[in-house]
C-alpha cells in the first residue's frame, strides 16, 4: 500500500493556491512521530506548521530540518497550481494532478491511500462527487477532511507546499530573501544565498519526473534535466498566462547536475 498526502499553501495576495502531494511507499507516521518527539513536540497534540516564524520557534525549526530529512530519504512529490478563488478549486485540480501522477509513474505498490487535509472542498460530499468524475489509473482509497495532527504525513505535505509556494513567489518577483548557506551545503557556511535556491536545491531530486536523457546525448552538464511538467506538475487551465509561465519556469523542468 502506498500513501499520498496532500496539503496546500494559499497566497491571495499573489492570486494563486499551490498544493503538494507527498508520496511514500510505507506509512510515515512512526518516523514523523519520532521527529516531533526529538524536537520537543508531542504528536497528536502539537504539529509542525510551516507558516510559523521559525526564528521565534526553535522546536518548529528543529522539526523542519528532521522532516526535510524524511522527505529527502523516503518521498516523491507532485505540485498543483491553481488560481486563488473562493470556490476551493484546488481540491478539484488536485484530483487531476493525482491522476497525472498515477498515469505516468510506476509504483511498487499497486493501490494507494490518499489523504487530503481539511478545507480543500466546500463540503465532504462535494469532494466525494469530484472523485467519482475522475477515472484513476491505479486503485485508490480516498480520505478527505483529515486532521494533520492525526495523519502525520500531512505535515510533510504542508512543508513541501510552503517551500514550493515560496519558490513560485520568488519567480513572480514577490519574494526577495537570502539565507546563510550553512554547514554541509557545499558552500562557505557564512555566505548568503537566495532562499529560493536553497529550497530548490532541497527539493529538486524529489519531484515526479520523466527519466533524464541518456548521458551520451548531453552536449553539456546543463542537459542533465528531467521533465516534471508531463508527470509531477499540474497547472489549472484557469490560471492566467503569467502564473502559468512562472509555474512552468519554476517546476516544469528540474536540473539535476552539479550546483557547486
**pLDDT digits 0-9 by tens, 209-228:** 999 998 888 888 888 999 99
Residue 43, pLDDT > 70, answer yes
* Torsion (CA) 98, 101, 106, 111 in degrees, nearest 10: 0
Which contiguous run of DSSP H or E holds residue 235?
A: strand 233-235
The overall longest dimension of the chain from CA atoms, in Å, is 53
Confidence of residue 35 (pLDDT cuts 50, 70, 90): very high
User: How is the chain split among helix, strand and coil, in percent rounded to 5?
Assistant: 40, 25, 35
Instruction: Tell me how far CA of residue 212 lies from CA of 75, 179, 220, 256, in angstroms.
Output: 19, 30, 13, 9
Instruction: Tell me how far CA of residue 41 lies from CA of 48, 62, 94, 148, 230, in angstroms.
Output: 8, 10, 30, 14, 38
Residue 125, pLDDT > 80, answer yes
- The whole-model pTM stands at 0.93
Residue 90, pLDDT > 60, answer yes
Question: 131, 102 in Cβ contact below 8 A?
Answer: no
Confidence of residue 68 (pLDDT cuts 50, 70, 90): very high
**Cα(229)–Cα(253) distance, rounded to whole angstroms?**
7
Residue 180, pLDDT > 80, answer no
Residue 183, pLDDT > 80, answer no
Q: Which of 56-60, 85-89, 100-104 has the lowest mean pLDDT?
A: 85-89
Q: What is the mean pLDDT of residues 119-126?
A: 92
**Cα(55)–Cα(146) distance, rounded to whole angstroms?**
29
Predicted local distance difference test score (pLDDT) of residue 17 = 95
Confidence of residue 179 (pLDDT cuts 50, 70, 90): low
Mean pLDDT, the chain, integer: 92
Confidence of residue 146 (pLDDT cuts 50, 70, 90): very high
**Domains of the chain by range and CATH?**
2-248 (3.30.420.10)
Confidence of residue 67 (pLDDT cuts 50, 70, 90): very high
Amino acid at each position: 500500500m502506498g500513501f499520498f498526502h496532500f496539503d496546500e499553501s494559499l497566497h491571495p495576495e499573489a492570486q494563486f493556491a499551490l498544493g503538494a502531494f507527498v508520496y511514500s511507499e510505507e506509512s510515515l507516521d512512526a518516523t514523523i512521530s519520532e521527529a516531533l518527539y526529538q524536537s520537543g513536540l508531542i504528536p497528536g497534540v502539537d504539529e509542525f506548521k510551516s507558516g510559523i516564524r521559525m526564528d521565534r520557534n526553535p522546536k518548529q525549526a528543529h522539526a523542519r530540518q528532521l522532516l526535510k530529512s524524511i522527505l529527502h530519504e523516503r518521498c516523491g512529490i507532485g505540485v498543483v497550481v491553481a488560481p486563488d478563488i473562493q470556490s476551493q478549486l484546488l481540491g478539484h485540480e488536485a484530483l487531476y494532478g493525482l491522476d497525472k501522477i498515477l498515469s505516468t509513474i510506476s509504483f511498487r505498490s499497486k493501490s494507494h491511500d490518499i489523504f487530503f487535509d481539511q478545507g480543500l472542498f466546500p463540503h465532504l460530499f462535494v469532494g466525494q462527487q469530484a472523485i467519482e468524475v475522475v477515472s484513476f489509473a491505479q486503485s485508490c482509497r480516498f480520505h478527505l477532511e483529515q486532521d494533520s495532527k492525526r495523519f502525520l504525513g500531512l505535515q510533510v505535505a504542508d512543508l513541501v507546499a510552503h517551500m514550493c509556494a515560496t519558490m513560485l513567489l520568488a519567480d513572480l518577483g514577490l519574494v526577495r530573501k537570502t539565507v546563510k548557506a550553512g554547514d554541509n551545503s557545499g558552500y562557505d557556511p557564512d555566505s548568503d544565498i537566495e532562499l529560493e535556491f536553497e529550497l530548490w536545491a532541497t527539493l529538486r531530486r524529489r519531484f515526479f519526473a520523466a527519466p533524464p536523457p541518456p548521458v551520451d546525448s548531453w552536449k553539456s552538464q546543463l542537459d542533465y534535466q528531467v521533465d516534471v511538467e508531463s508527470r509531477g506538475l499540474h497547472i489549472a487551465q484557469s490560471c492566467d498566462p503569467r502564473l502559468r509561465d512562472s509555474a512552468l519556469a519554476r517546476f516544469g523542468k528540474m536540473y539535476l547536475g552539479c550546483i557547486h
